[in-house]
Amino acid sequence: MKKLLVLIPIMLIVVGCGGGGQNIYPLTVGNTWNYTTITTTTTPIDTTTDTTTVDVEITAQTALDNGKEVFEVVSGTSTSYIEDADDYVFGYDTKADTIPDTLLALPLEEGKSWTVTSDTAGTAFKTYVVGKENVIVPFGTYNDCWKLGNIIGNDTTGVNVYYAEGTGMVKTYSLIGDTTFSVETTQQLDSVTIK
C-alpha cells in the first residue's frame, strides 16, 4: 500500500492496449512520457521547492509468473507491469504478484468509482471520475481531459490525475496539509512519444 501511495502518478501512467484503454493511454513498446515534478513544502519556518524529472517508457511485452501477458513499464529506477483486460487496467509491482491493483475501470464516466486496492487492515484505496477539464502543461493544451480523484477510507487524498485521450496522463496535482504544514505537488508532461 505504501508503494502505491508513493507511485500514484507513475502507476496511473500507462493504460490500454488495443482493448478498453487504447483511447485513454496507448500502450505500445517504445512509447515514452517525460514529466517534471515540482514539490513545494511549507512549514511554519520556511517554504522550500524541489524540482525533479522522470522518464517513463514501455520497454517490453512480457508475461507474469502466472503467464498473464503484460507490458513492462520503467519509470526512473522502478519497474512495474500493466495488463489491459478490456474493461479494466491492472497494475502489478512484480512478475510474481498474483493480486493486481485496479488502475482503471473503463469506460471512464463522470461519477464512476472503483476500488484500486485494500491494505491488510481493510482500508480501501479508491479512485473516482470527477469529470472533464481543459489542462495546460509545458507540452501543450489538452481539452476535455478526464479528471480522476482518490480516496483512502472515507477521506479524499487531495490527489487529482488528468488523462488526455490518445496521450495518457498529462498532469497530477496534490495539496496535502493545512495552513501550518503543507505539501503541494504538480507533475506535468514535458514531452511524449507515441508509436
Q: How many CB atoms lie within 10 A of CB 88?
A: 17
Q: What is the pLDDT of residue 176?
A: 85
Q: Where are the alpha helices (DSSP H) in 14-111?
A: none
What backbone phi and psi angles, to 5 degrees, belong to 89?
A: -120, 120
The 10s digit of each residue's pLDDT in 110-148 is: 999 998 986 666 667 889 999 999 999 999 999 999 999
In the chain, the domains with their CATH numbers are 2-193 (2.40.360)
Per-residue confidence in pLDDT tens, the chain, 195 aa: 334 433 444 444 443 333 334 578 778 999 999 999 999 999 999 999 999 999 999 999 999 999 999 999 999 999 999 998 888 889 999 999 998 999 989 899 999 999 898 666 666 788 999 999 999 999 999 999 999 998 876 666 678 999 999 999 999 999 888 888 999 999 999 999 999
Q: What is the pLDDT of residue 151?
A: 80
Q: What is the pTM assigned to this prediction?
A: 0.84
Helix (H, G, I), strand (E, B) or coil at 4: helix
C-alpha 129/C-alpha 145 separation (Å) is 11
